[in-house]
Amino acid sequence: MANQQFPPQQQDPPGLTEPMEPRPDHGEESYVGHDRLAGCSALITGGDSGIGRAVALAFAREGADVAFTYLPEEQTDAEATTELITSTGRRAVPIVADLRDRTTCDHAVGVAVERLGKLDILVNNAGYQQARSGEGIEAVDDERLDRVIKTNLYALFWVTRAAVPELKRHRGCVINNSSIQAYEPSTTLVDYAATKAAINNATVNLAAELGPHGIRVNAVAPGPIWTPLQPATQAPEKVESFGANTPLGRAGQPAEVAPAFVFLASPKDASYVSGTVLGVTGGKPVF
């Protein structure tokens, strides 16, 4: 098949790393830290796999202790990420949490702060899409709409709201995971794309509100990245050619996205960077 990149494969959501062919690259063999986040404490939602796992590993190799949330179905991925973090000598705090519930969001932030002793970096990374059910608005049933908007937007507001008092104490930062879908929406992802555009809007607004407290708020907008989300939510024929329509002609790996998060998290390198969205898209425009 033309443009084939990946063997056809499907999983049930939320998807796991182990069955993926090929296995994603989270930077295990390649990421070299330079103490950019020495002494920092981070919470990453959905840090068990994909981009979140690569960010967790990079943050730990940069000297940060890392708490991360994951879903109950993702226990094996959470264990693998915990092992990656602790192998750097940093502390890992895995927190099982379905963030579609406000009290669970409050609890997750509370556990992270208590176990890490403080929080200076919040990464709102957890996300969900469902492209398999068909094209367009008529494929968006209420269950799907609820899951997409609760995971991508409600959780971001709830987790951020719970973390802000602690972030104010440490003049910390927030990094949201947006998407190329905010700029170039697919008809199969009408609900998901709308949440990502809203995340960009909230990023700018929160940067304005929290800047006077010394808190920087930014987002990363990834293009097509090879993570469990794809085989778990896209049709098999989409998986096969995933990423081939980018100027660079391929999907990216989680390891290629993590350095953007490290840059935005770094209190030194990004000290004057706030309210921006950094594209990591393989060449697709983010304006």
DSSP string, 37-105: TTT-EEEETTTTSHHHHHHHHHHHHTT-EEEEEE-GGGHHHHHHHHHHHHTTT--EEEEE--TTSHHHH
Stretch near ligand NAD under the rule CB under 6 A, chosen from 2-10, 34-42, 95-103, 113-121 = 95-103
Q: Is the separation of the CB atoms in 129 and 233 below 8 Å?
A: yes
124: part of which helix (H) or strand (E)? strand 121-124
Verify whether residue 272 is a known catalytic residue.
no
The reply to whether 74 sits near Mg ion by the rule CB under 5 A is yes
Site membership for ligand NAD, residue 33 (CB under 6 A): no
- Binding span for ligand NAD by CB under 6 A among 26-34, 45-53, 133-141, 204-212: 45-53
231 near ligand NAD (CB under 6 A): no
**Applying CB under 6 A, which of residues 66, 67, 85, 99 lies at the interface with ligand NAD?**
99
Of 276, 277, 270, 281, the closest CA to residue 121 belongs to 270
Do 237 and 2 touch, CB atoms closer than 8 A? no
- Our finding on whether 106 is near ligand NAD (CB under 6 A) is no
- The interface with Mg ion within residues 108-167 (CB under 5 A) comprises none
Q: Measure Cα distances from 9 to 132, 165, 264 in Å.
A: 13, 43, 34
- List binders of ligand NAD among 116-145 (CB under 6 A): 125-128
Region binding ligand NAD by CB under 6 A among candidate stretches 32-40, 63-71, 206-214, 269-277: 63-71
Provide CB contacts within 8 A for 254, sequence distance 6+. Answer: 24, 25, 26, 27, 50, 51, 53, 54, 225, 226, 227
Query: Nearest distance from residue 214's CB to ligand NAD, in Å?
Result: 26
**Of the candidates 35, 46, 61, 88, which has an alpha carbon nearest to the alpha carbon of residue 267?**
35
Contact track, ligand NAD, 178-197, x by CB under 6 A: -x------------------
47 binds Mg ion (CB under 5 A): no
Catalytic residue numbers read: 192
Contact residues: Mg ion, CB under 5 A: 48-49, 74
Contact residues: ligand NAD, CB under 6 A: 14-15, 45-46, 48-52, 69-71, 74, 97-100, 125-128, 151, 177, 179, 222, 224-225, 227-230
